Amino acid sequence: MVARRPLVAGNWKMYGTASEAAALARALKERLAGVESVDVVVAPPYTALHAVRPVLQHTGIVLAAQNVHWAAKGAFTGEIAAPMLQEAGCGAAIVGHSERRQLFGETDDTVRGRVRACLDHGLMPILCVGETLAERDASRTLDVVRGQLDAALDGLTPEQVLRVVLAYEPVWAIGTGRTATPAQAEEIHAFLRARIGTSFGAPVSHHSRILYGGSVKPDNIDDLMAQPDIDGALVGGASLKAEDFDRIVRFRGLTPRP
Ligand code: PGA
């Protein structure tokens, strides 16, 4: 069977003016030259996309947005549509991040619409699911992530699901410095993969990439990536430091620095 290609994505959140983001991109371009065995994605703020795009040209690093609206255009003040992102050079978009779900009223329905918009307009959706601490403490983790996954992928074809990258991000681990243990993460990754298999068939589940996110750092990435169902990482805080992100992309000495 073909191995899944690892993917490491940096979510820059609301950090970086256009010039700061371009400087970070230049540092990453230099550091990551020669990395060929890992797909690398960075998601700057919208206002920095145009500044970062030319820096990343011919690097293989994929430009992504941090969100996308479900409609192709319309009277939606403050939103950004998939065709706009595509023209701005994006190849991917983060969808359903817990900060969107928790702070900005994102629901399973809106997440589903945003996943579809990505697929309709050639963007790779990075679909985030994850439970809160209260949900974990109430032993509801599996129900919560299954519900989020099923809702987001409802009605898609197996071929479409193959183009979705899933990210398991326990809310209690995001920005807290408290990472899920590799065993905790693996349990949920294996569960999500099995669920994809039940809904869309074994080949889709085998090929689907599932990233872990939540306080991923240079000192925990190797153990996380040693788990059989963890195919990469969605990195927040540590993606803002070129040195740390570089080390995460080169997990387990996979692509040692020359
Ligand atoms: P963190 O964020 O790495 O800072 O915990 C991860 C994320 O929000 O995607």
Model confidence over 171-204: pLDDT tens digits?
Answer: 999 988 888 899 999 999 999 999 999 999 999 9
pLDDT band at 256 (very low <50, low <70, confident <90, very high): low
pLDDT at 3: 83
Q: Where exactly are the structural domains of the chain?
A: 7-30+38-249
Which two tokens mark 146?
């299954």
For residue 69, is pLDDT > 80?
Answer: yes
pTM of the full predicted structure?
Answer: 0.96
**Average confidence (pLDDT) over 22-47:** 96
What separation in Å is there between the alpha carbon of 1 and the centre of ligand 1?
Answer: 31
Q: Which of 184, 202, 112 is nearest to 148 (CA)?
A: 112
Ligand 1 atom at shortest distance from the alpha carbon of 216: 3
What separation in Å is there between the alpha carbon of 143 and the centre of ligand 1?
Answer: 22
Residue 136, SS3 per DSSP: helix
Ligand 1: residue of 235, 239, 247, 248 to mutate (most ligand atoms within 8 A of CB) is: 235
Ligand 1 atom at shortest distance from the alpha carbon of 239: 3
> Which protein residue's CA is at the shortest distance from atom 2 of ligand 1?
236
236 lines ligand 1 (CB under 6 A): yes
pLDDT > 90: percent of the chain: 93
Backbone CA torsion sign across 180, 62, 160, 74: positive
Q: Report H helices in the chain.
A: 18-32, 49-56, 82-87, 98-103, 108-120, 133-137, 141-153, 158-162, 182-200, 202-207, 221-225, 242-249
pLDDT at 153: 98
**Average confidence (pLDDT) over 129-139:** 95
pLDDT at 258: 62
Residue 18, SS3 per DSSP: helix
> Which protein residue's CA is at the shortest distance from atom 6 of ligand 1?
236
**Average confidence (pLDDT) over 100-106:** 96
90 vs 177: which has the higher pLDDT: 90
Query: Which CATH code, of 3.20.20.70, 3.30.460.10, 2.60.120.620, 3.90.1150.10, is assigned to 7-30+38-249?
Result: 3.20.20.70
102 lines ligand 1 (CB under 6 A): no
For residue 1, is pLDDT > 60?
Answer: no
